[in-house]
DNA sequence: GTCGAAAATGGTTTATAATGGTATATTATG
DNA sequence: CATAATATACCATTATAAACCATTTTCGAC
């Protein structure tokens, strides 16, 4: 059985909380007992990863402090991950609260439709319209790839 | 006896479920006890594979989390396979439910005619008109290939 | 420090959708 | 033409999302 797959459409409630589908809830229960990390992605969605997945993502080289002292770029990167990542626990009713700043980042307004996307290592929460745009981009990329492949085959 | 071959025409019911023919049901029972993965294909159909077939297709390189942290392209790829793949179990009556998003992808509307195509490692569910288009493309490609082969042979 | 307002949290209810099962119509087969 | 097999429509039941409500907590004003 695949984990963290598929799509669900659901709503943020009036208080900015989201209720996961039973499938997602059990995936997170298995993976991390509900201890997750919210993380704002550059793509404009909010990702939810099991805590240890996030720690793997952020596994750092040594001498962090020294690098922080000498590199502005490094400091900016740490700032980005620091500011835009936050621990949460999935409640007994399968809900989490999305902090206001994170809702803004993902254009996930209170009482609006959002889409939950499985990404194999966790999930992403997308604004509906943004997700549709992203699907268009994925489709476009795929059809270009296909055409290219077939054209190449016929040339041989 | 060949598995996952041939074509069936059938209907989605009002709830977006499909009932497989006895032949297909027994193929899936033999291959995976009914544990399948639905996967949306770029060609605009919905494939159904035995779970281990899908896992083979999707075998991953290592250090997934770290790549996800640093590469937008990698994240998009995970998103593509995550969003468009989902586990299902064939019910005791030989039915599976196609999730709404997947129905949209394959233009498989509720209460409409669809075509089940055996693809040797699994099956594909096609919208009737799209399948007819695909057959035309297959024919076109094949005649191009044949001409090419003969032309090449004569040149030598 | 105390009170009040506002927000956050936890839980419950209800409308809706998904599911499992059965009956019936249709098609295939001898 | 009769019978069996199968697809599909229908219905009952269950599960779930989302709205609603109550309680608790936080924060600010007095």
The string of pLDDT tens digits covering residues A80-105 is 899 899 999 999 999 999 999 999 99
Beta strands per DSSP E along chain A = 7-11, 17-19, 35-40, 46-50, 85-89, 95-97, 113-118, 123-127
Q: Determine the residue among A21, A122, A135, A143 to mutate to test chain B binding: the one whose Cβ has the most chain B Cβ atoms within 10 Å.
A: A135
Nearest-Cα residue of chain B relative to residue A1: B87
CB contact under 8 A, B78 and A121: yes
Chain A neighbors of B42, CB-CB under 8 A: 139, 142-143, 145-146
- Cβ of A150 within 8 Å of Cβ of B144? The answer is no
Alpha-carbon span A26 to A3, nearest angstrom: 9
Q: Identify all chain A residues contacting B66, using CB atoms and an 8 Å cutoff.
A: 56-57, 59
Looking at residue A64, its pLDDT comes to: 83
Residues A112-142: pLDDT tens digits? Answer: 999 999 999 999 999 999 999 999 999 999 9
Residues of B in contact with A56 (CB under 8 A): 65-66
| pTM assigned to the model | 0.93
Number of domains in chain B: 1
Q: Which contiguous run of DSSP H or E holds residue B97? A: strand B95-97
Residue (of A40, A43, A57, A51) closest to A99 by Cα position = A40
Kindly state whether residue B152 falls inside one of the protein's structural domains.
no
CB A55 within 8 A of CB A138: no
Nucleotide nearest to A15 (CA to C1'): C8
Decide: CB of A97 under 7 A of nucleic strand C: yes
Residue nearest to nucleotide C8 (CA to C1'): A15
What rounded mean pLDDT belongs to chain A?
93
Task: Please tell me the distance from the alpha carbon of residue B93 to that of residue B114, in angstroms, as a whole number.
Answer: 19
In contact, B103 and A9? CB cutoff 8 Å: no
Q: Enter the tokens of residue B58.
A: 């999707």
Quick one: which H or E segment has residue B115? Answer: strand B113-118
Strands B35-40 and B85-89, by their bridges, are antiparallel
Q: Please check whether residue B87 lies inside any domain of the structure.
A: yes
> What are the structure tokens assigned to B18, written together?
């499909």
Task: Tally the C-alpha atoms within 13 A of residue B53's C-alpha that lie toward its C-beta.
Answer: 19
Which residues lie below 8 Å from residue B150, measured CB to CB, with a gap of 6+?
none
Q: In whole angstroms, what is the distance from residue B107 CA to residue A9 CA?
A: 18
Nearest by CB to B87, from A1, A7, A120: name it: A1
- The reported pLDDT for the residue numbered B115 is 96
Q: What is the pLDDT of residue B45?
A: 97
- CB neighbours of A35 closer than 8 A, spacing ≥ 6? A50, A51, A87, A89
> A113: domain CATH number?
3.40.1550.20
Instruction: Write b or e for each residue in A80-90: b if 16 or more Cβ atoms lie within 10 A of its Cβ, otherwise e.
Output: eeeebbeebeb
pLDDT band at A156 (very low <50, low <70, confident <90, very high): low
Instruction: Choose among B2, B1, B5: nearest CA to B119.
Output: B5
User: Is the C-beta atom of B15 closer than 7 angstroms to strand C?
Assistant: yes
User: Locate tokens 């006895």: which residue?
Assistant: B22
Q: Which helix (H) or strand (E) holds B50?
A: strand B46-50
- State which residues form the domain around B121: 7-127
Asked if strand C contacts A71 at the CB level, meaning under 7 A, the answer is no
Domain membership flag for residue B141: no
The answer as to whether A152 is a domain residue is no
Task: Report yes or no: A44 and A36 within 8 Å, Cβ to Cβ.
Answer: no
Per DSSP, helices labelled H in chain B are 22-32, 51-57, 64-70, 72-83, 100-106, 128-155
pLDDT at A131: 97
Domain presence at residue A70: yes
- Torsion angle in degrees (nearest 10) through CA of B22, B101, A145, B81: -80
Task: Give domain status of residue B63, yes or no.
Answer: yes
For residue B138, tell me if it sits in a domain. no
Tell me if B132 is assigned to some domain.
no
d(CA B51, CA B34): 9
Share of chain A above pLDDT 90, in %: 78
Q: What is the pLDDT of residues B31-72, one digit of tens each?
A: 999 999 999 999 999 999 999 999 999 998 888 999 999 999
Q: Which residues of chain B have pLDDT under 70?
A: none
Tell me the nearest-neighbour CA distance from B75 into chain A, angstroms: 8
């Amino acid at each position: 059985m695949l984990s963290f797959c598929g799509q669900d459409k659901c709503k943020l409630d009036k208080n900015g909380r989201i209720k996961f589908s039973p499938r997602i809830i059990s995936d997170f229960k298995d993976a991390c007992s509900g201890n997750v990390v919210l993380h704002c992605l550059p793509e404009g969605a909010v990702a939810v990863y099991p805590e240890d997945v996030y720690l793997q993502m952020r596994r750092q080289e040594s001498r962090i402090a020294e690098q922080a002292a000498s590199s502005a770029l490094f400091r900016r990167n740490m700032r980005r991950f620091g500011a835009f990542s936050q621990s949460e626990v999935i409640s007994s009713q399968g809900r989490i609260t999305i902090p206001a700043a994170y809702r803004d980042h993902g254009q996930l307004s209170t009482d609006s439709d959002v889409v939950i996307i499985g990404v194999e290592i966790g999930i992403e929460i997308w604004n509906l319209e943004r997700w549709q745009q992203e699907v268009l981009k994925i489709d476009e990329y795929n059809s270009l790839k296909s055409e290219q492949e077939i054209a190449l085959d016929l040339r041989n």
